Structure 1
Amino acid sequence: MRADRLVAALLLLQARGRVTAADLADELEVSVATARRDLEALSAAGIPVYPQPGRGGGWSLVGGARTDLSGLNAAEAQALFVLLGPASSAAPELTSALRKLVRALPATFRADAEAAAAAVVSDPARWGERSREPPELVEPLQNATVRRLKVRLTYGGSAERLVDPLGLVDKDGIWYLIADTGAGRRTFRVDRIAAATTTEQPAERPADFDLAAEWARIAAEVEQRRSLVSAVVLVDAELFPVLRKRFGRHCEVVERTAGHVRARVTAHLARSLAEQLAGWGSAVEVLEPDSVRRELARIGRDLTERYAT
């Protein structure tokens, strides 16, 4: 990908002060002509890169200009490679770009960055499950978002619609597309999109759109819908950390007493809450409301009828 080559070229310029097209071609494993075009592209983009002809010449940054990317300190360089290093599940293009980045790091940081890259392996599959690969439509939708082109979607069994893609979110292996439609802003699960065709029509993107902020808003709305019913439970203090881990943000402490914790847990339905609590047996006592207690009693009767001998 040309983008990672341009970044690597700029970093090499900063690290070495001056490079020739031949030097750059050797480092980036491209032809000399391609390396020269990349240097010219940096200059055309407004980066203060200029050539010096003659013996000992090459390409340099005016006044030793620098970018924040290669201004990494040692801790930042290690953090970057722990997160996205070659030993992780990074895409091949990203791995290639990072490999070139490590060559451009100051020598004092290079060994630590390489060690950090080899310190972590990411295995997204849970025990007993296969690794979940992104849906095939993620890449074309991402390309359409970057190029700001409208996409024609068929979602589930609904009619075809034309959308302005705004961004993609990976939520624990489930991918979502956020897009503006004729009926307002919508969120689509990518694995439920039956078909997606990128058009040549320019997409509109609000100037103030912030993908992270928009997803935080959407997630908060979903969490609120999942917290319509609450129950107050009493659990042994030693078991409470396990209960809290199971319910996550849907569990909060009401009161701590000697040996016990009174907590509030939430779900979208009384039945759903009872089903989640039933597996705890007598280890968790539901104090209120009656709707959840009745659901638990019903589950108990159903199990007794089925398994009684």
Structure 2
Amino acid sequence: MKSFGMVFPGQGSQHIGMLSQLISKYPEVQETFDEASSILDNKDLWQLVQNGPREELNKTINTQPALLSASVAIFKILKKKKIIPQIMAGHSLGEYSALVCAKVLSFHNAIKLIKIRSELMENAVPKGTGLMMAIIGLEKKIVQKLCLENKKKQEIVEISNFNSPYQIVISGNKESVKKTGIACKNIGAKHIVQLPISIPSHCSLMKPIAKKFSQYLKKVDFYPPKIPVINNVDVTIENDVNIIRKNLARQLYKPVRWIEIVQFITKKNIEKILEIGPKKVLNKLIVSITNSIETISINDYKSLSLVYKFIKE
């Protein structure tokens, strides 16, 4: 068997109908979504994921538990098949999925935490005043310069995700993000894309809520990881639970260093990566960062049936 890792997607990977093929074949899916719903005041999370409306699913308070539940359910299926990775990482919210699967956090506590996290994030800025935008095809130095040049007084626009050499995400106050995006397009960006995320994550607008969130993190039991997890903030593997807690609080306002995370994985001689969750967002990013790792996205019956062959070849 080849050495392989697992990565877990964050907001933006959600879609109506995700995991619909798996619900009848794998009881882990229904069990996981039912447990999440019971913690979320009996909100029917599976019903929302399957039938929408899309605008409701795209609200941070719904997106985060939906994606966590989807990733954890798929991992449970793989674990039953004895498919356990050598290393894991998650993109933003996906780090919580990785920590649950590495037994740092219980799923129950993770859902409780991201419920609080998403509520704090939704209330960090007035509704409709924040924005995240992907900039395709422009170097990070140019994007950083344009962020500084185009932000309005008393407003924020910063790089929030270093996703790939060709994709950077900016985040902040709506008008400043839009202005910066247009400037990026005018100077040569191939595309600018507004993300289906209801809040401006991973920028200093989230810093005021980090201290409050850290108080909640202290109340929850954390354990040393059974599987190494690369964190988003420092691109390191931590075993100290107090540092893991601190990094989760810092993650709210620090950029996701996805390029470096993938490079870290390649240095560990990992040959294959399984993306555990809906869509193929991380799969595509990894391919654009390195050609030394093969990837597959596990989110339907066909991909689950191929997983053994993929990791053994």
TM-score normalised by length of structure 1: 0.22
Task: Give the structure, 1 or 2, with the largest relative contact order (CA under 8 Å, sep 6 or more).
Answer: 2
Larger fraction in strand? 1
Larger Rg: 1
